[in-house]
């Protein structure tokens, strides 16, 4: 992936800092004649927006998106559609609370990108995290809203499956539950537990990590490419590029290390539709870097935010030892709001590979071969 | 990453199938005037070569590499050096045992790329796995041998840290032990256990997964880039692109999900050299996508090979149900030989980011800032 | 080049249509700590702005640029500088005169992109040319203003050297003259002639082509790369990508076809600074795709705009024959305003290769070699 | 374009020096199931091969190509076809005549890349031109042979239309004539003249430039993309990247500068097939960066080779003044052998855009729109 872009045919470029005038992105390569309005994108943005419960930062970011280009309203139908030209999206920053940045202007918060930006660039916009702010992920969600429309029948959903050391009970998985609790948690009982658990974390001025699972259904078989253009390699990069992510796995993931070949191989039968029916999905929908037609399943681990109230040992940008306390309106579990971000990244990668596959191979499926 | 290439400035492209005439790669963008001989590359290739113990496939692949271009011997010094032009590398395939591929020519091995290649392309070289053969990884190792020379002081080492459900004891970690057992295992006691354990797996005609850890020391701070050009995002893609890999993590990885912000943040002091000294390395050497100067630590999970002797339910390429048995000379634990491959991929990614950083920012470090 | 982006390390992405809410661009990969203000960029934009003489379109486009990201004001110095993160630039569209597009909504103007956009995408924003409007070139100029600051000592200037069949007299070339006439013409006598000539063209409702020459001084030797990464190959693409450009040449260009080897080869002596001094510059500053240190000289041909008052035979988007007249405020010679655009493109390409070279080879020049 | 690669979906990477063991290329992204043999490629290579007449270098380069990967022979049909995986191509170097390079080992030939390679890299393989040798173009021709098969119905032909100051008479254009003279000249009378003319040049130990025209028929409308992904921008880069090329033009090219809007705009009628019929082709088949369905017409100027027998003033790599004479077996007009190279580059660019267009828009043409 490039500095601030990803994707080959469906290509997303973002810009903007937390406390600058605006953040934005350019979605290039989108197919033409796809109906697209600001409302479509706003719907996804609203799911990521902070301040919707006491479990996320209390910053108010209305995140009102404007489509600046790449769409046109057909006069006959009155439907606004993509034109195939680049889609420019913009969100003005409005809640740039004027405040004293004295503590972090010159001091490095352990676990933050403060030091690494300085050691790389020698300059950084420290206000609200600048370019490394989670605010950038709003543009990923916006781009993802476009991506979802590129692949017919694609449904990408995400869920929080672990908070701190506590995993959900997968036997209670209910997608409808996701919208009923502030954690995107598919297990109602776990959600109730997380409410108490996270209150405790928050009151201590601490923070905690989480694991998110993304499931993409309706992914046609054949997406991806051998070797370096593997669908799962691009998924891994896309998810690891989200702020605070420290691990990515596909299907059985790290659990696959403990399996035998017999256990791990997903046996195949023929379904009623004449297509392969897999009897399990340890592969997470990707084998040899190419989608099988099963659900693509990816998980990623989000570390706890380092913006905590407890003092930590540090150094400053002039090379002196110090300690630092991070005040402000922070998420006690940034993993929660990473759910729609993860969905968006998966959608973008799949959309890109959908177009890449169509480019190389065309629109007809060669399988099954004639006898 | 592109179909068969990765990297921006240090760019690797591979080609070749298991049973075609040869496999090869092109390393483009290597800096000039770096001493490089076939012996340098061969040393790394020999570490990956199969048939060196009873724990890897008994195929004999001498893997003799030829440098076809991109080097020149200075007449005065007699030293062969890179010229800055593309380095072409070639390994002729010699052990293409003529055999009956009847079983797998038309049948899909569950867990293999057989079906996905067919559903994508409608044609595939089924001999020995074709393009999806682990044989391709020899060229990654060759490219990695070049990459190691690009970054002054860089040392990249790998180790097998888990086989099946059995993890090594990290308190016994000894890098010297790596070369003394056939598992690249840094824990002598674990290695002894793995010998018996893997014999059992092998005799059953089964296979087992593993977890590999790669540690890169001497990585300068400041490599990587914000957002999509993150060093860890590129590491994730590079490692996930290795055959059979299902999960990647950096530093604390999935364990970070269970940590609190206080536990996870790596506190900083000043070292005697005036540079930041981190009191821990949960970050795995990368914060905000940019290297900190600590060791870069990555782990990846390798699934068990699906080439096992037990029959599995499957379908064939004409759309009929069948079952399939995979005979042949297979690795009972493909994770073992993935160790040098993982090292190579990490070296290539770091070399690429080293050049990219130098391109954008130059050769002087801005840190610390003058007061 | 990608759809709407170009450059590898210094990468420019633009978006926006003529009559949408705004046009914009993202400049990614710019080195940090370069002083940059909106005024710097505005200066170049004002040179391209239409409506400054009767020889360009009378549309009023104030083209007021806003920097949305990628800069930060150091509190100590008060100087706004680049941070190394993506620079977002935006120009709101203000002169979107409401009018009847009846004539061109469904009819294809011969010589315009009307038909090709429709046959490709099946939809297009026909208002004011939409994405194919020359308005997009404002963002090229803005990006070029940033690029000029990346390479120390770089000076890029352009001149109109031919209008219709009439070439300037190169013996009268005076760079100071460029700013004194509305044609960016370095030959005062020719400029006076062009004033009358173009009045005639304009009054006939016709249009005419032109040739533009760009000269870049201060280009360090060694920029470019062998084979496909040639500096002149990237210049050719960059200039050919400007609207209405039909030809590009470097140095002697097409004239080189008529030269003998003796005439064409630029002989070398040593200058007082110990660097090679070339006795001529047929090469246009680029040999083997790599800069020599001489001035880089490129020329490009701009066709006459097809937006003319005379009726032309055409077809419409429903597949019926028709004829079409293009009314509106059009440039009688679009080549004039292409001068600052050409400068910008050359500056961007050189900035990109400056960073790419530094990435691969570093900051010290190996020449001359020690005996 | 990257250092040694070009194309996005149909991507070509070459490697190799004139006097190293071999030259090669990797064609990545080729669609699967296209019949392809070494004979197909050899046919094009033989057209480029030197030593076929007294008008080209007398070096003997059999240029026997081997396909190392990316094809597979279907057992049922016995037809060798592409598999969609990277196609590795190799030509061993055989005529590496051992000789004294004393003259050019340390001296820079004016007009050659000798100096620029040294000032960039500080090292170069000076034998036979090394990486900057025209020998590299053999791999372009090989890749082009693959590209020709990607676009159904595509026919790409080239012709020498000017040698020195002498242009052919286009009214005598006969494609069949191309194969009957050693100049790829479509005008029999001009060819006869060129035979004498070039003999004179050759006997003087001099050299001369040329202009080549490439015509691609069967290019579907809609290929290309707005702004930076213009078909003609990529053509310009591809052709300018050929050794010794100094200018590129599309359609009317530089002549367009002298035309009025009325003259230049290609009027449209409807053909019997219901598709637009253009009454002229000043556009050269590309408008707004997108193909019109007309023949794509490109021309490029090739400078005279600087390898001439007459002594020229120069400097050496240690920074001393000298003069240099280039002996050896050189082409008196390198433009001749550039004809098949230009064809190949145009075919590669069109193949790439064919796949890119299919990726973004799919396989059905939206035109004409329903009323």
**Domains in chain C, CATH or no CATH each:** 5-361 (3.60.150.10)
CB contact under 8 A, B355 and C355: no
Q: What's C180's DSSP letter?
A: G
Full 3-state SS string of D143-160: HHHHHCCCCCCCEEEEEE
Q: Which run of H or E residues covers position B173? A: none
pLDDT of residue A146: 98
Closest CA to B121 of B305, B317, B316: B317
Residue A311 CB burial class (10 angstroms; 0-12, 13-18, ≥19): exposed
For the annotated binding site of B for FMN, the residues are 131-133, 243-244, 288, 303-307, 329
CB within 8 A of C76, min separation 6: which ones?
A: none
Q: Which residues contact B145 (CB under 8 A, 6 or more apart)?
A: B40, B41, B43, B44, B45, B344
Residues across chain B = 371
- CB–CB of C361 and B31 under 8 A? yes
How far is B348 from B351, CA to CA, in rounded Å? 5
Q: DSSP string spanning B224-248?
A: B-SGGG-HHHHHHHHHHTSTTEEEE
Res C226: pLDDT: 87
Distance CA C74, CA D245 (A): 47
Provide, for chain B, the percentages of residues in helix, strand and coil under a 3-state DSSP scheme, each rounded to the nearest 5.
Answer: 30, 25, 45
Secondary structure of C271-284 in the HEC alphabet?
Answer: CCCCCEEECCCCCC
- Helix-then-strand count for chain D, H and E: 8, 18
pLDDT for position B306: 80
Q: Is the peptide bond before C86 cis (omega within 30 degrees of 0)?
A: no
Q: Interface pTM (ipTM) of the complex?
A: 0.96
Please give the sequence-ordered ranges of beta strands (E in DSSP) within D18-83, or none if there are none: 22-28, 65-67, 71-73, 80-82
> How confident is the model at residue A2, as a pLDDT?
78
Task: Name the least confident of B218-227, C329-338, D248-257, D296-305.
Answer: C329-338
User: Which of A121, A133, A136 is the best residue to mutate to test the C interface, defined by the most C CB atoms within 10 Å of its own CB?
Assistant: A121
Residues D148-171 have pLDDT tens digits of: 999 999 999 999 999 999 999 999
Dihedral sign of CA atoms D162, D164, D167, D172 in order: negative
> Can you read off the two tokens belonging to residue B365?
């470090």
Beta bridge partners of A211: A162, A301
pLDDT at D349: 98
Query: Distance between CA A63 and CA C112 in Å, rounded?
Result: 38
Q: Which residues of chain D register pLDDT less than 50?
A: none
> Could you give the CA distance from residue B184 to residue B191 in angstroms, rounded to a whole number?
8
> Do the Cβ atoms of A355 and D360 come within 8 Å?
yes
| Chain C CB within 8 Å of residue B29 CB | yes
* Cβ density class B249-285: b for 16+ within 10 Å, e for less: bbbbbbbbbbbbbbbbbbbbebeeeeebbbeeebbbb
A144 interfacial to chain B (CB closer than 8 Å): no
Q: Which helix (H) or strand (E) holds C336?
A: none
Q: Which residue has the higher pLDDT, C134 or C256?
A: C256
Subunits close to B (at least 3 CB pairs below 8 A): A, C, D
- Of the pLDDT bands very low, low, confident and very high (cuts 50, 70, 90), residue C349 is very high
In eight-state DSSP terms, residue C30 is P
Sign of CA pseudo-dihedral D101, D106, D112, D116: positive
Q: Which residues contact A287 (CB under 8 A, 6 or more apart)?
A: B111, B112, B113, B115, B116
Q: Where are the alpha helices (DSSP H) in D3-121?
A: 38-48, 102-105, 114-121
Instruction: Give the burial class of C153: count Cβ atoms within 10 A of its Cβ; 0-12 exposed, 13-18 middle, 19 or more buried.
Output: exposed
In this model, does residue C371 exceed pLDDT 60?
Answer: no
The answer on pLDDT for B326 being more than 60 is yes
H/E stretch holding A90 reads strand A87-92
Which pLDDT value is given to residue C95?
65
Of A155, A185, A212, nearest to A347 by C-alpha is: A155
Q: Are strands A166-167 and A155-163 parallel, antiparallel or unpaired?
A: antiparallel
**Among C359, A227, D122, D119, CA closest to B30:** C359
Give the whole-angstrom CA distance, residue C13 versus residue C28: 8
Q: Is C337 annotated as a binding residue?
A: no
Nearest 5°: the CA angle B158, B161, B167 is 175
* Binding site feature residues of A for NADP(+): 48, 54
Query: In this predicted structure, what is the pLDDT of residue D208?
Result: 96
Q: CA A356 → CA A33, A224, B358, distances in Å?
A: 18, 8, 31
Residue labelled with tokens 């053909």: D271
Residues from chain B that touch A283, judged by Cβ atoms under 8 A, are: 111
Q: Which residues of chain A fall short of a pLDDT of 50?
A: none
pLDDT at A95: 64
**C202 has a chain D CB within 8 A of its CB:** no
Q: How many CA within 13 A on the CB side of residue A235?
A: 37
**Which residue shows structure tokens 């470097």?**
C250
Contacts of B202 (CB under 8 A, 6+ apart): B54, B55, B332
CB contact under 8 A, A84 and D361: yes
B68: nearest Cα among D27, D141, D26, D101: D26
Is the Cβ pair B68, D22 closer than 8 Å?
A: yes
Tokens of A97: 């609370």
Contact B266 A110 (CB under 8 A): yes
Mean pLDDT of chain B: 93
Would an 8 Å CB–CB cutoff place C3 in contact with chain A? yes
Look up residue A261 and give its two tokens: 């070949």
The span from the CA of A297 to the CA of A158, in Å, is 10
Residues whose CB is less than 8 angstroms from the CB of residue B265 and which lie 6 or more positions away in sequence, other chains included: A109, A110, A111, A306, A308, A312, B282
Kindly identify which residue of chain D lies nearest to residue A353, measuring between CA atoms: D359
| Residues B132, B117 contacting (CB under 8 angstroms) | yes
Test A361 with D9 for CB contact under 8 angstroms. no
The closest alpha carbon to B9, from B27, B24, B25, belongs to: B27
Question: Which structure tokens are listed for B151?
Answer: 């970054």
Residue C24 has pLDDT above 80, yes or no: yes
**Dihedral (CA of B177, B180, B183, B188) sign:** negative
pLDDT number for residue D319: 92
CA distance linking residue D371 with residue C99, whole number of Å:
23
- DSSP-assigned letters across all residues of B54-100: TTS--------EEE-SSEEE-TTT--EEE-SS-EEEEEE--------
| Residue closest to D86 by CA, chosen among D145, D155, D13 | D13
Nearest CB to C209; choose among D258, D312, D365: D258
pLDDT: which is higher, D231 or B96: D231
CB–CB of B37/C367 below 8 Å?
no
Q: What is the pLDDT of residue A326?
A: 75
Distance from CA of D150 to the nearest CA of A (A): 10
* Statement: residue C306 has pLDDT above 90: no
For chains A and D, CB pairs below 8 A equal: 51
Put simply, whether B33 touches C (Cβ < 8 Å) is yes
Q: Is some CB atom of chain D closer than 8 A to the CB atom of C136? A: yes
Where do the DSSP E strands lie in chain B?
5-6, 11-16, 22-28, 65-67, 71-73, 80-82, 87-92, 155-163, 166-167, 210-217, 245-250, 268-270, 276-278, 286-287, 290-291, 296-302, 312-315, 321-324
Pick among D57, D221, D228 to test the C interface (most C CBs inside 10 A): D228
Return residues 250-289 of C near A (CB < 8 Å). none
Contact D362, A363 (CB under 8 A): yes
């Amino acid at each position: 992936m490039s500095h601030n872009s990803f994707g080959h045919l469906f290509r997303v470029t973002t810009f903007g800092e937390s406390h600058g005038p605006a953040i934005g992105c350019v979605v290039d390569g989108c197919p033409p004649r796809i109906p697209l309005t600001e409302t479509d994108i706003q719907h996804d943005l609203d799911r990521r927006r902070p301040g919707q419960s006491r479990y996320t930062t209390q910053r108010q970011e209305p995140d009102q998106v404007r489509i600046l280009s790449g769409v046109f309203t057909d006069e006959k139908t009155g439907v606004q559609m993509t034109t195939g030209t680049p889609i420019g999206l913009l969100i003005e920053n409005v809640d740039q609370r004027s405040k004293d940045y004295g503590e972090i202007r010159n001091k490095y918060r352990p676990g933050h990108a403060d030091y690494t930006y300085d050691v790389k660039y020698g300059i950084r916009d420290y206000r609200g995290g600048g370019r490394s702010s989670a605010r950038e992920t709003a543009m990923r969600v916006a781009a993802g809203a476009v991506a979802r429309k590129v692949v017919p029948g694609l449904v990408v959903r995400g869920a929080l499956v672990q908070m701190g050391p506590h995993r959900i009970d997968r036997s209670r998985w209910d997608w409808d539950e996701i919208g009923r609790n502030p954690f995107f948690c598919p297990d109602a009982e776990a959600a109730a537990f997380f409410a108490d658990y996270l209150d405790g974390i928050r009151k201590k001025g601490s923070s905690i990590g989480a694991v998110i699972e993304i499931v993409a259904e309706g992914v046609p078989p054949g997406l991806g490419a051998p070797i370096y253009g593997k669908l799962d390699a691009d998924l891994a990069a896309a998810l690891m590029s989200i702020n605070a992510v420290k691990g990515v796995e596909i299907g059985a993931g790290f659990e696959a290390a403990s399996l035998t070949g017999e256990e791990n191989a997903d046996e195949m039968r023929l379904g009623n539709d004449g297509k392969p029916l897999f009897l399990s999905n340890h592969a997470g929908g990707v084998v040899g870097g190419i989608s099988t037609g099963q659900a693509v399943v990816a998980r990623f681990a989000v570390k706890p935010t380092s913006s905590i109230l407890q003092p930590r040992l540090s150094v400053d940008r002039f090379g002196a030892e110090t300690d630092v306390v991070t005040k402000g309106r922070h998420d006690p579990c940034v993993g929660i709001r990473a759910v729609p971000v993860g969905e968006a990244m998966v959608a973008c990668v799949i959309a890109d590979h959908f177009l890449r596959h169509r480019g190389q191979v065309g629109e007809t499926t060669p399988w099954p071969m004639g006898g």
